[in-house]
């Protein structure tokens, strides 16, 4: 088995906020992240498989780029995660929630079982891995 990883970069704005909590409760729970702020993310998309005998590729990198553009860039780049998407109405867009959502979107868009891992870098010193099977 081989693993191939492609990286993309995108930016969002967001705030950690739960609508059922008061402003005071949100600020107590999330601190400064309750304020609107932004992140410049780096996303690593790793696929795993055997290379096709005819092409020598696990996946055509053009196909992987197209899926990333459609599923991630078009949905999230330069968007407000709270106001421009329906994903974070009832949950805060923490890196854990965001990485899990990205894994689900890519897993549905790629050939079955091909997606091995997504690694979402929120900053230089913080990233979240979502790995197929959770191992």
The SS3 call for residue 92 is coil
Structure confidence by residue, pLDDT tens digits, 5-58:
999 999 999 999 999 999 999 999 999 999 999 999 999 999 999 999 999 999
Average pLDDT, the chain: 96
What tokens does 121 get?
Answer: 């870098």
Rounded to whole angstroms, the Cα distance separating 36 from 88 reads 14
Query: Residue 63: pLDDT above 70?
Result: yes
Where helices occur in the chain by DSSP H, the ranges are 23-30, 61-68, 74-76, 95-109
pLDDT-based confidence at 135, cuts 50/70/90? low
Res 122: pLDDT: 97
Res 123: pLDDT: 94
Give the gyration radius of the chain's Cα atoms: 16
Check: CB of residue 116 under 8 Å from CB of residue 133. no
């Amino acid at each position: 088995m081989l693993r191939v990883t492609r990286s993309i970069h995108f930016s969002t704005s967001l705030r950690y906020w739960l609508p059922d909590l008061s402003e005071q409760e949100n600020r107590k729970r999330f601190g400064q992240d309750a304020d609107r702020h932004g992140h410049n993310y780096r996303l690593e998309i790793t696929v795993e498989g055997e290379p096709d005998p005819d092409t020598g590729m696990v996946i055509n990198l053009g196909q992987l780029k197209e899926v990333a553009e459609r599923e991630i860039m078009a949905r999230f780049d330069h968007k407000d995660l709270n106001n421009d998407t329906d994903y974070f109405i009832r949950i805060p867009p923490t890196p854990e929630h965001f990485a899990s959502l990205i894994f689900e979107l890519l897993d549905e868009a790629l050939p079955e079982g091909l997606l091995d891992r997504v690694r979402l870098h929120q900053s230089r010193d913080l990233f979240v891995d979502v790995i197929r099977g959770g191992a």
